[in-house]
């Protein structure tokens, strides 16, 4: 353990007791009114509008003075420690649930699995196909493609298992990529019934007789990489050291050579820069300004992109401009989905982009841009293909059941495994040199902010861009920052913050992003806001614009009045002509319930209303793939998935929907109780995301008696009422 990590651990206790690593911390005194429209007096830290950015972080990193690097990185290490502790505790609790029904009801484990097939993939990984005996469908689960998992023996609670990543999932089978072959007893191979297509039972043997269990796993690698990057960042000098000092408030950021706190940008230079850019995309004026501003920033600039305002489009243009100037760019985001959204734009603008990351986590449509695919299609990789074929062959031979009792076959098997090891070594070394060549040739590398240090080794970049940067914790930023000459952060602090499991870490600042901190510290000079949105009908946009963005959003003419009934094959009626609809369930007795065996909430009454609305939409000609249902609670999303069977309809939690859009969105607020408790619905950023996903129609189902005890929801209900879109559930048929 590093000395900082040790120090951090011992400090973690005092952190939980509410102390910070900052000496003389006077957090709570930054009220210097740096941002425009300061409506809020800073008394309510739950409000998150830009106008409310004057609100100090309750106990987080101070923004009114430079941060001492040692204190700062120590604080970040403490957050990571608290977070790791919370993650370990959560998973330990889950793995203790050994009984099938209980373990699987969490959605984070699948038990009693047979291994029905395996192959070798890139870099000598094993791809293991697992299924339930008899080809039964897998239970509802949260193991998505890309989820880190632990594969262990089902009948052995002491088995620590091996680490893997989900690489494919179907209704009745799941594929895991691992570095190790999970075999307990090689002699124990015997034929068993397996599964075939569509879950039919066929005579396909389970290739290993053991039963397996899959559990979601903690991602220790990420934390270790972050700690290592922070240790380097604390010591680093030169250009990266200067950028660190700017981000810590020790040095002032510069634009066009001038410190931002003393000079407004010279309008003439700005105009000159703007005129000089040969834009590759059709951008609106705020987007163009943002591009020019980013190009002029000497060290760091921020693009604030409210929902649907073309943040990703804008940063793709910034990257294209930077490449045009002969620069190399690292384009990152905290999630794989956000990286892929950006990659989708980039590949339309330039050819030489490489997506680094596990291919299992990359959109199917973008596979050809992954490092794996590019290495595979490299002419020099035919050698690797031959070696891999040989490896597969050897493994199949080695896994044949042993028939003789004399030990000869056992000896042969050991030799075969040795040979397999040697081949894997050769494959790896060949691949390493091709990987290096592909990466060196790329103009832009796209990756999540959890960077594979081995793949990118010593690469540094003229520009590092982090999209959705408000979803990234500060410790999560340093791997990317260390490789940057200049840094552009894009995001929206009024949407979801990063996921932080530890309440203690969240309370002392881990959920506040670097972008948010820099805006606090430097104010308007450090960011440009995009204001024209291309998603929502104006009525859908207005509430969010007024509440979160100082009423600055403008609906582009192409979407301003678009309606559901304008879609081909959708019948025109009052229902499809109105962009807003709110169904108030107050008085109907639709009380929330706690999911059996779980912590999450569901609401059967609201689900019934959602079902009725979806049916009405389908009857009007709206197709499933044009509809999304958003539930703040996973249990309600699961409940609805079991009850709704319209082809193509998407049902997910708010977190699953950030960055997405649909023609029509239904939200089931779920909370309904006599005490007016609303749990994490009180985080308005979550509601902001849910309310801004719909293009042409937004339907909200909720209980005013519970929700409207809170100002935000009371305003929301009033907004629907004023728009003539409020209906009590009693006005619906069947209720």
**Where does this chain bind ligand ATP (CB under 6 A)?**
282-284, 287, 305, 307-313, 534, 659
Q: Which residue, 532 or 627, is less far from ligand ATP as judged by CB?
A: 532
Q: How far apart are CA 110 and CA 158, in angstroms?
A: 17
CB of 666 to ligand ATP, least distance (A): 19
Rg (C-alpha) for the chain, rounded Å, is 27
- Minimum CB–partner distance for residue 36 and ligand ATP (Å): 21
Specify the residue, 282 or 647, whose C-beta has the smaller distance to ligand ATP: 282
At its nearest, how many Å lie between ligand ATP and the CB of residue 226? Answer: 25
Considering beta carbons, is residue 266 or 661 the nearer one to ligand ATP? Answer: 661
Q: Hey, what long-range contacts does 406-415 have (CB within 8 A, 24 or more apart)?
A: 413/186
Euclidean distance between CA atoms 105 and 97, whole angstroms? 10
Provide the minimum distance between the beta carbon of 707 and ligand ATP in the complex, in angstroms, as a whole number. 25
Q: Closest distance between ligand ATP and the C-beta of residue 457, in Å?
A: 31
If we measure between CA atoms, which residue out of 169, 173, 236 comes closest to residue 200? 173
Phi, psi angle pair for 280, to nearest 5°: -90, -20
- 612 and 643 Cβ atoms separated by less than 8 Å: no
Q: Please, what is the minimum distance in Å from the beta carbon of residue 402 to ligand ATP?
A: 57
E strands within 225-267? 254-255, 258-259
Nearest distance from residue 282's CB to ligand ATP, in Å?
A: 5
CA distance 319 to 195: 48
Residue 576 CB neighbours (<10 A): 22
What is the phi/psi pair of residue 330, to 5°? -110, 120
- Least distance CB 312 / ligand ATP (angstroms): 3
- Nearest distance from C-beta of residue 111 to ligand ATP, angstroms: 37
Helices 3-16 and 69-96: angle between axes, nearest 10 degrees: 70
- Kindly tell me which of 62 and 310 has the beta carbon lying closer to ligand ATP: 310
Whether residue 415 contacts residue 351, with contact meaning beta carbons closer than 8 Å, is answered with no
Nearer to ligand ATP, 315 or 651 (CB): 315
CB of 305 to ligand ATP, least distance (A): 4
Q: How far apart are CA 590 and CA 380, in angstroms?
A: 64
| Beta carbon nearer to ligand ATP, 310 or 497 | 310
Nearest CB to ligand ATP, comparing residues 282 and 675: 282
Q: Two tokens at 82?
A: 């608290």
Helix axes 267-276, 285-296, angle to 10 degrees: 100
Distance CA 260, CA 465 (A): 20
Give the nearer residue to ligand ATP in terms of CB position, either 270 or 534.
534
Q: How far, in whole angstroms, is CA 372 from its chain's centroid?
A: 22
CB of 659 to ligand ATP, least distance (A): 4
Q: Which residue is nearest to ligand ATP (CB)?
A: 310
| Cβ distance to ligand ATP smaller for residue 1 or 557 | 557
700, 664 in Cβ contact below 8 A?
A: no
Query: Shortest gap between Cβ of 17 and ligand ATP (angstroms)?
Result: 38
| Residue (305 or 476) nearer to ligand ATP, CB | 305
Q: Which is nearer to ligand ATP, 282 or 645 (CB)?
A: 282
Rounded-to-integer distance, Cα 448 and Cα 475, Å: 14
C-alpha–C-alpha distance, residues 199 and 133, integer Å: 10
Instruction: List the structure tokens of 633.
Output: 């609670």
Residues in the chain: 735
DSSP character string of 431-498: HHHHHHHHHHH-SEEEEESS--HHHHTT--EEEEEEETGGGS-SGGGHHHHTTEEEEEEEE-TTSPPP
284 vs 636, which CB is nearer to ligand ATP? 284
- CB-CB neighbours of 126 under 10 Å: 18
Integer CA distances (angstroms), 153 to 101, 157, 185, 209, in order: 17, 8, 11, 11
Shortest approach of ligand ATP to residue 497 CB, angstroms? Answer: 15
Residue closest to 670 by CA, chosen among 627, 640, 709: 640
Closest approach of Cβ 670 to ligand ATP, in Å? Answer: 23
Positive or negative torsion for Cα 678, 682, 684, 686: negative
Tokens found for residue 315: 């940063």
For tokens 């921020």, name the residue.
302
Report whether 191 contacts 209 (CB < 8 A). Answer: no
Q: Which residues contact 415 (CB under 8 A, 6 or more apart)?
A: none
CB atoms within 10 A of CB 417: 16
**To the nearest whole angstrom, how small is the minimum distance from the Cβ of residue 512 to ligand ATP?**
20
Contacts of 499 (CB under 8 A, 6+ apart): 655
Least Å distance, CB 662 to ligand ATP, is: 12
Q: Two tokens at 477?
A: 């930023």
The SS3 of residue 621 is coil
Using the minimum distance from each CB to ligand ATP, give the nearer residue, 284 or 516. 284
- Helix, strand, coil proportions of the chain in percent (round to 5)? 45, 20, 40
What is the smallest separation between the CB atom of 693 and ligand ATP, expressed in angstroms? 8
CB of 695 to ligand ATP, least distance (A): 10
String of DSSP letters for 382-400:
HHHHHHHHHHHHHHHHHTS
């Amino acid at each position: 353990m590093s000395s900082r990590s040790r120090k951090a651990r011992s400090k973690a206790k005092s952190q939980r007791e509410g102390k910070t690593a900052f000496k003389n911390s006077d957090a709570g005194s930054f009220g210097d009114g740096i941002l425009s429209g300061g409506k809020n007096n800073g008394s309510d830290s739950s409000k998150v509008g830009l106008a409310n950015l004057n609100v100090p972080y309750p106990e987080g990193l101070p923004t009114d003075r430079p941060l001492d690097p040692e204190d700062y990185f120590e604080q970040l290490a403490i957050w990571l420690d608290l977070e790791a502790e919370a993650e370990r505790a959560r998973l330990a609790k889950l793995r203790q649930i050994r009984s099938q029904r209980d373990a699987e009801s969490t959605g984070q484990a699948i038990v009693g699995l047979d291994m029905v097939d395996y192959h070798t993939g890139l870099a000598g990984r094993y791809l293991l196909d697992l299924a339930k005996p008899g080809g039964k469908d897998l239970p509802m689960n949260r193991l998505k493609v890309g989820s880190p998992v632990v594969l262990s023996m089902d009948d052995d609670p002491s088995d620590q298992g091996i680490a893997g990543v989900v690489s494919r999932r179907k209704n009745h089978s799941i594929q895991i990529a691992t570095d190790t072959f999970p075999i307990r007893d090689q002699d124990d191979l015997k034929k068993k019934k397996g599964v075939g297509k569509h879950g039919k039972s066929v005579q396909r043997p389970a290739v290993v007789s053991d039963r397996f269990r899959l559990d979601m796993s903690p991602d220790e690698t990420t934390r270790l990489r972050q700690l290592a990057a922070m240790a380097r960042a604390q010591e680093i000098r030169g250009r990266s050291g200067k950028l660190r000092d700017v981000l810590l408030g020790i040095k002032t950021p510069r634009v066009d050579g001038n410190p931002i706190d003393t000079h407004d940008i010279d309008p003439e230079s700005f105009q000159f820069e703007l005129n000089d850019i040969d834009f590759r995309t059709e951008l609106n004026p705020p987007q163009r300004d943002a591009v020019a501003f980013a190009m002029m920033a000497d060290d760091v600039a921020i693009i604030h992109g409210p929902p649907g305002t073309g943040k990703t489009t804008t940063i793709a243009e910034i990257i294209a401009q930077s490449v045009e100037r002969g620069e190399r760019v690292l384009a990152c985001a905290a999630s794989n989905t956000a990286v892929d959204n950006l990659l989708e734009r980039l590949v339309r603008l330039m050819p030489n982009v490489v997506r680094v990351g596990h291919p299992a986590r990359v959109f199917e449509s973008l596979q050809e841009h992954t490092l794996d695919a590019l290495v595979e299609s490299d002419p020099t990789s035919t050698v690797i293909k031959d070696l891999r074929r040989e490896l597969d062959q050897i493994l199949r031979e080695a896994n044949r059941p042993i028939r003789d009792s004399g030990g000869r076959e056992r000896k042969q098997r050991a030799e075969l495994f040795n040979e397999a090891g040697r081949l894997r070594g050769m494959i790896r070394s060949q691949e390493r040199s091709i990987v290096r060549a592909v990466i060196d040739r790329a103009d832009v590398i796209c990756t999540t902010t959890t960077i594979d240090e081995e793949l990118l080794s010593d690469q540094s970049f003229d520009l590092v861009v982090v999209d959705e940067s408000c979803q990234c914790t500060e410790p999560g930023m340093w791997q990317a920052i260390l490789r940057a000459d200049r840094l552009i952060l894009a995001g929206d602090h009024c949407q979801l913050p990063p996921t932080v499991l530890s309440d203690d870490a969240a309370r002392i600042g881990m959920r506040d992003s670097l972008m948010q901190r820099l805006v606090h510290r430097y104010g308007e000079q450090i960011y440009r806001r995009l204001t024209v949105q291309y998603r929502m009908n104006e009525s859908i946009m207005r509430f969010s614009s007024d509440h979160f963005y100082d009423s600055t959003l403008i609906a582009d003419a192409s979407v301003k009045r678009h309606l559901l009934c304008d879609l081909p094959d959708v019948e025109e009626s009052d229902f499809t002509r109105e962009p807003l609809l709110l169904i108030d369930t107050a008085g109907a007795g639709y009380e929330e319930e706690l999911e059996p065996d779980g912590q999450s909430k569901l609401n059967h009454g609201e689900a019934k209303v959602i079902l009725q609305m979806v049916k009405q939409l389908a009857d009007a000609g709206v197709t499933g793939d044009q509809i999304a249902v958003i539930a703040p609670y996973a249990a309600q999303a699961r409940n609805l998935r079991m009850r709704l069977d319209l082809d193509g309809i998407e049902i997910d939690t708010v977190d699953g929907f950030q960055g997405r859009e649909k023609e029509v969105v239904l939200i089931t607020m779920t909370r309904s109780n006599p005490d007016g408790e609303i749990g994490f619905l009180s985080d308005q950023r979550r509601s902001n995301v849910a309310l801004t996903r719909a293009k042409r129609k937004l339907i909200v189902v909720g209980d005013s008696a519970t929700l409207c005890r809170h100002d935000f929801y009371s305003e929301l209900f009033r907004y629907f009422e004023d728009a003539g879109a409020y209906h009590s559930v009693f006005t619906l048929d069947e209720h």
